[in-house]
């Protein structure tokens, strides 16, 4: 991080790499990315997921120029923030089953009424 902002993190316990020029930033970035073949960033190819796409194109170009393949962090974000507990998954499946049966029930009831039973021979025939 730029030396101007470094003081804001002095008491945070977060390891900070400080730079004071573009050259020192590039050197620190090269060091950080050395050995990495892929790096996940808040990027979405063709902005397909605007909520995920936060890194500007210039930064992505810079990281790519240093070697790693830039991939979207969307799947990582999904995994880290939206995991269902076993109870939530069971509830989801139960709701889906009920929803599915609720959708089918009216059709089966309507199809068995006297009026629709009388119309069955004409069902599927072209109309004029």
Query: pLDDT by residue (tens digit) across 15-49?
Result: 888 888 999 999 999 999 999 999 999 999 999 98
44/16 same-domain check: no
For position 103, what pLDDT does the model report? 61
Instruction: Tell me, yes or no, whether 125 lies in a domain.
Output: no
Residue range of the domain that includes 98: 84-120
**Number of domains the chain is built from:** 3
Nearest to 70 by CA among 50, 56, 49, 81: 56
Residue at 126 is within a domain: no
- Residue 41 near residue 55 (C-beta atoms within 8 A): yes
Say if pTM beats, i.e. exceeds, 0.75.
no
For the chain, the first-to-last Cα distance in angstroms comes to 74
127 inside domain: no
Q: Is residue 105 part of a domain?
A: yes
Please indicate whether residue 68 or residue 2 has the higher confidence score (pLDDT). 68
Specify whether 105 is located in the same domain as 90.
yes
What is the predicted pLDDT for the residue at 124? 55
- The string over 35-58, giving b where at least 16 C-beta atoms fall within 10 Å of a residue's C-beta and e elsewhere, is eeeebebbbbeeeeeeebbebeee
Are 52 and 20 in the same domain? no
Residues 40 and 14 in one domain: no
pLDDT at 83: 81
- Lowest mean pLDDT across 16-20, 40-44, 52-56, 58-62: 16-20
User: For residue 119, what pLDDT is reported?
Assistant: 55
Q: Is the pLDDT reported for residue 57 higher than 80?
A: yes
């Amino acid at each position: 991080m730029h030396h101007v902002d470094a003081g804001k993190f002095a008491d945070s316990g977060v390891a900070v790499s400080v730079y004071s020029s573009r050259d020192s930033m590039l050197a620190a970035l090269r060091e950080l990315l050395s050995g990495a073949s892929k790096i996940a960033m808040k990027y979405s190819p063709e902005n397909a997921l605007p909520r995920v796409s936060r890194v500007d194109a210039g930064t992505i170009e810079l990281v790519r120029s240093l070697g790693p393949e830039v991939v979207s962090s969307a799947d990582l974000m999904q995994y880290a923030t939206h995991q269902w507990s076993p109870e939530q998954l069971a509830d989801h499946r139960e709701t889906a089953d009920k929803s599915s049966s609720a959708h089918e029930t009216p059709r089966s009831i309507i199809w068995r009424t006297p009026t629709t039973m009388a119309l069955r021979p004409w069902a599927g025939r072209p109309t004029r």
